[in-house]
Amino acid sequence: MDVVVPFSPTDPKSRLSPVLTARERREFARVLLEDVLSALAATAGIPEPTVLSTAALEVDPGVPVRVDDRALTPAVNDALASSSDPVAVVMADLALATPAALSRLFAPDADVVLAPGRRVGTNAIVARHPAFRVDYHGASFLDHRAAAASVGADVAVVDSHRLATDVDEPADLVEVLAHGEGAAADWLRDHGFEVGERADGTVHARRHES
C-alpha cells in the first residue's frame, strides 16, 4: 500500500486568517502535518507515508516528499493511476487523528474506504479498486461514494469523530483544544488560545490579548 498526505506549504489555511497571521498559518499548518505524520508512523501495519507537496518542503529526515504543484484532485488522481498497489490518502490537517482512529481506516477490506469530514468533505480514503478516482470539493464525500459505485467498487464508510475533524475555519480550533493530543493543541495554547464560552452558552476558541 502507498500512503500519501497532500500538503500545500504556500499560503495554507487561508480561512484561518481572521485569527492567525500568514506566518502563524504557515507554522500551524506544519504542526498539523507533523501530527498526522506522527500518527501514521505509530499506526501498525502501514508503510511510511509520502508527503505530496505543492512546493519544495523539508520534513523529518526519512519522510519522502513528492512535489506536484497541481491542484489536489489531479495530483491525487495521478498518485492513484501511477500505483499498482492500493493507495491511502490522508489529509494533512486531521488534528485529532490517532493510531487507533487511523487503524479503523485501514481495517476494512472494501474496494474503497471513505472517512467523511463533518462538512461532507472527504478526509481520508483507501482505494483498492484500480479505476477509482477522486474529485475533491465541498461535498466530495457524496461524489466519492457515487464514483465508487460507478466503477463497481464496494464502499466502507468510517464514522470517526477524530477522522472527521479537519481544521479549516476558526470554529474548528475549539475541537483541537478540547480533544487534541498532539503538537497542534500545544501550539494553539502556546499562542494564547483557550476554550471559551459565549453568553449564549456556545463554545469557541478564544485568544488572549498579548
Cross-strand partners of 51: 5, 65
| Cell of residue 40, nine digits | 501514521
| Cell of residue 77, nine digits | 488522481
**pLDDT per position as a tens digit, 50-72:** 999 999 998 887 899 999 999 99
Exposure string of 141-160, with b = 16+ CB inside 10 Å and e = fewer, is: bebbbebbeeeebebbebeb
CB atoms within 10 A of CB 200: 5
- Across residues 27-31, what is the average pLDDT? 98
Average pLDDT, the chain: 96
pLDDT at 210: 60
CB 163 within 8 A of CB 89: no
Please report which confidence band the pLDDT of residue 81 belongs to, taking 50, 70 and 90 as the band edges: very high
Of 160, 150, 164, 148, nearest to 110 (Cα)? 148
Q: What is the chain's length?
A: 210
Domain over 2-168 is classified CATH 3.40.50.300: no
**pLDDT per position as a tens digit, 149-203:** 999 999 999 999 999 999 999 999 999 999 999 999 999 999 999 999 999 999 9
pTM for this prediction: 0.96
Q: Would you kindly state where each structural domain of the chain is located, as residue ranges?
A: 2-168
The interaxial angle of helices 183-190 and 22-41, nearest 10 deg, is: 150
> Strands 87-90 and 2-7, how do they pair?
parallel
- Across residues 19-24, what is the average pLDDT? 98
Encoded amino acid at 50, one letter: T
